[in-house]
Amino acid sequence: MKKQKWTEVGVPKGTGRQRFGLKLGVIAAFAVLFALGSLLIAQQTVEDKRESVIKGVERRLELVALGRADVFNAWLSELSQRGDRLIKSDMFRLYAAEVDTFSGDLSLIFGAAGAAEGAEGAELAEQLPMMQNILREFCTYSGFVSARILNREGIAYLASDGHLPPMDDTEIERAQSAMTDRKATFSPLRKTPQGLALDIYVPIFPPDANGDEKPVAALMLTRQVAGKLTELLSNSALSAEGEKTRLMQETNGAYQEVTPWSAEGFSTVVFQTDFNNSGNLPFADRSSLSDPDRKVYSVGIMTNGPHWWVVQEIDHAAATAPIQTFSGTAYTVAGLGILAILLAGGLAWWVRAGMHNQRTAEEFRRLAEHIENQKRLLDSINANIQEFITLKDISGKYVYVNDAFAQAVGRSEEEIIGMDTEAIFGFDTAKRLNATDSAVCTEHGKAIINEVIYLQSKRHQFQISKSPYYDGNGNCLGVVEVFRDITEFVAAQEKNRRLIRRALEALGSTIEAADPYLGGHTKLMAGLSVEVGRALSLPEMDVAELETAANLSQIGKMFVPKDILTKPERLSPEEKEIMETHVDYAYRILKDIDIDEGVLRTIYQMNERLDGSGYPKKLSGEAISRPARILSVLNAFCAMIRPRAHRGAKNPQEVMRILAEMKGKYDPEVLRALEETLSTLPGNASSAIPHNAALSIR
């Protein structure tokens, strides 16, 4: 019998190897089970992430589509309300009511038979030219291509262009629908030689209507809308990559995508429409509106009025990009976990080799865990920072950039390292961005700058914070930059400025309501003040103050008796003195409001003359501020080219000649700037100003 060999500790060698092999087998089996478990967990995590991302895409598209639909609804409502100034005029209501009660042939109103004195409809025919002129002026002033008035049977008897072809059945049906429903209706968009056009039908009620009377006619307005639709459908700075806003309309049971920028104006919708109970297009994975090969996620919101749907869609690739990134990260983490387990198994085997190796393996294990935790922490922080963070060395080359910066400039982090600012942003932008780097390093301070930067053809406004980066001895090694995107904040500020301007224009319109001959005076003067101010090379801040002063210039006339404002004869000295008090009223109203002192001074002095013949203080020469001298010329010009109670409107060329002959009253430099402005307006608008300026619905 063969004797068994024994080790020095009395354990058979074969038995020790068997136990060690068994332990290794257990460790290997555990590693395999852990690997499978890690992969399953990673797969489930990716699926959860996919569901979360798709839900987020759905919420974003619905919010953006609702917001865009609200913008379309506001625009359509504004279009329908533009006709209020006309249809609420007692003159138009009375004329429409009289036509409604006319029982004869409507051709008597505008045909040759109606011209005979005493004939039926003669009085209506006599008023027809005046009504056509007012309707034509309303179209020109309000930006409509044409307008018509239709009776209850859908017969047009008044048109802005004097052309009255028979209405087709669809147009008659829409006009009658507007009168039946007592609210504005809209036609589908249609293609014309000038672009896309939209018809609006607004009911006209009889005079003194208290809400129960039926409409007596309908106002049909035609508007070219291609430019506005292109503006409303364009992407904003907040639009995500791959995201588009589209407009779909229903025409005769078919659906079309509206493409105002194309020659055809429309394209056929290719996917199957599946509207919900609210008439909206629910969120779904489908083809793009008119491109069956392009897969998108989309949602559609129906607008009020016309059968339009605002469809917000985003490309599959752009929508699922976060899923792909997360998937790679999840499987990487799972792989690292598996690797960590294998490493732990190896370390366990190494421990079995000896106490020294065991201590070494323990240190390595702790170090590996620490490094892994630090890596996960840094990766988590880096992935969630929205600001751009960069580190440039003393020569201006990038030595570190975070994920957000790399994605924004469209390059990988590895590609950016070693490049300078000029290689990333171009010469001009780099020159502005690097201007403060030297001072930051040499003065050991911080700097904050605001710059406009174009990233992947999109304009962004950034606030950039710069700080020096030191070594252990306090030497500056480079500059740390943090980019904060303030584009949305700047856009909000600009929006507030536009709202303030519109409020001032609305206030100007309210002021003009006190004098029927002031209609459009303030708006015309404000528009000319901007052009003349720029012709005189005034700073934009001064131009803005000049426009504000023009909008508020007539506020004091609200307190002047109306019989003086509208007196058809020339004012007596006493009445003229009362009229001139509007300046003092304006000063008392505006002095307690938070308004710029320059604006207040301009309004107070705009009626002064260089020779001292003006009011209220008889100022002369340089004692009158330059903005006041500008408004003095524009106020006189706008007043002369418009009709007044005691005279008719004058031709602009005649007005310029009259003002130039008033030696010593008006600033010659301002007169030259006004003449230059009139000569450079599109279509020689100086000759068109009297016609436009004379628009007045009273």
Most confident of 25-34, 108-117, 184-193, 519-528: 184-193
The answer to whether residues 558 and 478 belong to one domain is: no
**What pLDDT, on a 0 to 100 scale, did the predictor assign at position 117?**
59
Between the alpha carbon of residue 430 and those of residues 33, 318, 657, the distances in Å are 54, 30, 53
Distance CA 312, CA 302 (A): 12
pLDDT tens per residue across span 501-549? 676 666 656 665 655 556 678 888 999 999 999 999 998 889 989 999 9
Q: What is the DSSP letter of 418?
A: T
Between the alpha carbon of residue 255 and those of residues 171, 248, 273, the distances in Å are 20, 7, 9
**What pLDDT, on a 0 to 100 scale, did the predictor assign at position 475?**
84
The answer to whether residues 451 and 500 belong to one domain is: no
SS3 169: helix
Q: Where are the alpha helices (DSSP H) in 514-662?
A: 521-535, 540-552, 562-565, 573-579, 582-590, 597-605, 626-640, 652-661
**What pLDDT, on a 0 to 100 scale, did the predictor assign at position 351?**
56
Contact of 222 with 197, CB cutoff 8 Å: yes
Please provide the distance, in angstroms rounded to a whole number, between the alpha carbons at the two ends of the chain. Answer: 132
**What pLDDT, on a 0 to 100 scale, did the predictor assign at position 275?**
87
**Amino acid code (one letter) for 283:** F
Residue-wise burial string across 303-337, b where 16 or more C-beta atoms lie within 10 A, e elsewhere: bebbebbbbbbbbeeebbbebeebbebbbebbeeb
pLDDT tens per residue across span 38-94? 788 878 888 888 889 999 988 988 898 899 899 999 999 888 888 777 888 888 888
What average pLDDT does the segment 636-640 reach?
A: 92
Q: Is residue 5 part of a domain?
A: no
Q: Is residue 377 part of a domain?
A: no
Distance CA 16, CA 23 (A): 11
Q: Is residue 6 part of a domain?
A: no
Q: Is residue 688 part of a domain?
A: yes
Which structural domain range is residue 396 located in? 386-485
What average pLDDT does the segment 112-124 reach?
A: 62
Tokens of 362: 């323990």
Distance CA 261, CA 275 (A): 27
The answer to whether residues 393 and 470 belong to one domain is: yes
Pick the last residue of a domain from 435, 453, 485.
485
Length of the chain: 698
Q: What is the CATH number of the domain that holds 584?
A: 1.10.3210.10
When divided into structural domains, the chain yields a total of 3
**What pLDDT, on a 0 to 100 scale, did the predictor assign at position 11?**
43
Question: Smallest Cα–Cα separation from 521: which of 550, 495, 486, 546?
Answer: 550
What average pLDDT does the segment 265-282 reach?
A: 86
Portion of the chain with pLDDT greater than 90, in percent: 22
Tokens of 447: 């700097």
Lowest mean pLDDT among 240-249, 278-287, 341-350: 341-350
**What pLDDT, on a 0 to 100 scale, did the predictor assign at position 646?**
62
Helix 540-552 to helix 521-535 angle, to the nearest 10 degrees?
160
Contact of 259 with 266, CB cutoff 8 Å: yes
The model carries a pTM of 0.45
| Residue whose tokens read 């501020």 | 625
pLDDT band at 6 (very low <50, low <70, confident <90, very high): very low
pLDDT of 195 > 60? The answer is yes
**What pLDDT, on a 0 to 100 scale, did the predictor assign at position 103?**
73
Contact of 303 with 72, CB cutoff 8 Å: yes
Q: Is residue 376 part of a domain?
A: no
Distance of alpha carbon 27 from the chain centroid: 63
pLDDT of 20 > 80? The answer is no
The answer to whether residues 425 and 323 belong to one domain is: no
Tokens of 43: 């797969």
Q: Is residue 362 part of a domain?
A: no
**Cβ atoms < 10 Å from Cβ of 134:** 21
pLDDT of 7 > 50? The answer is no
pLDDT of 454 > 80? The answer is yes
What average pLDDT does the segment 278-288 reach?
A: 89
What average pLDDT does the segment 17-43 reach?
A: 72
Distance CA 147, CA 443 (A): 69
Distance CA 85, CA 77 (A): 14
Lowest mean pLDDT among 166-170, 497-501, 571-575: 497-501
Distance CA 15, CA 11 (A): 7
The answer to whether residues 294 and 222 belong to one domain is: yes
**What pLDDT, on a 0 to 100 scale, did the predictor assign at position 332?**
83
pLDDT of 96 > 70? The answer is yes
Mean pLDDT of the chain: 82
The answer to whether residues 472 and 500 belong to one domain is: no
Strand 185-186 and strand 156-159: the pairing is: unpaired
**What pLDDT, on a 0 to 100 scale, did the predictor assign at position 370?**
81
The answer to whether residues 467 and 502 belong to one domain is: no
The answer to whether residues 257 and 342 belong to one domain is: yes
Cα dihedral sign, 584-588-591-596 = negative
The answer to whether residues 47 and 144 belong to one domain is: yes
pLDDT tens per residue across span 459-508? 888 889 888 988 878 788 888 989 988 888 777 767 756 655 676 666 65
pLDDT of 613 > 90? The answer is yes
The secondary element (H helix, E strand) that includes residue 224 is strand 217-224
Q: Is residue 83 part of a domain?
A: yes
Pick the last residue of a domain from 470, 485, 500.
485
Distance CA 100, CA 155 (A): 11
What average pLDDT does the segment 131-148 reach?
A: 89
**What pLDDT, on a 0 to 100 scale, did the predictor assign at position 1?**
44
The answer to whether residues 155 and 205 belong to one domain is: yes
**What pLDDT, on a 0 to 100 scale, did the predictor assign at position 512?**
59
The answer to whether residues 268 and 187 belong to one domain is: yes
**What pLDDT, on a 0 to 100 scale, did the predictor assign at position 691?**
42
The secondary element (H helix, E strand) that includes residue 181 is helix 169-181
Pick the last residue of a domain from 439, 454, 485.
485
pLDDT band at 696 (very low <50, low <70, confident <90, very high): very low
Q: What is the CATH number of the domain that holds 440?
A: 3.30.450.20
Distance of alpha carbon 675 from the chain centroid: 34
Q: Is residue 381 part of a domain?
A: no
The answer to whether residues 476 and 500 belong to one domain is: no
Question: Smallest Cα–Cα separation from 324: which of 46, 60, 56?
Answer: 46
Contact of 50 with 285, CB cutoff 8 Å: no
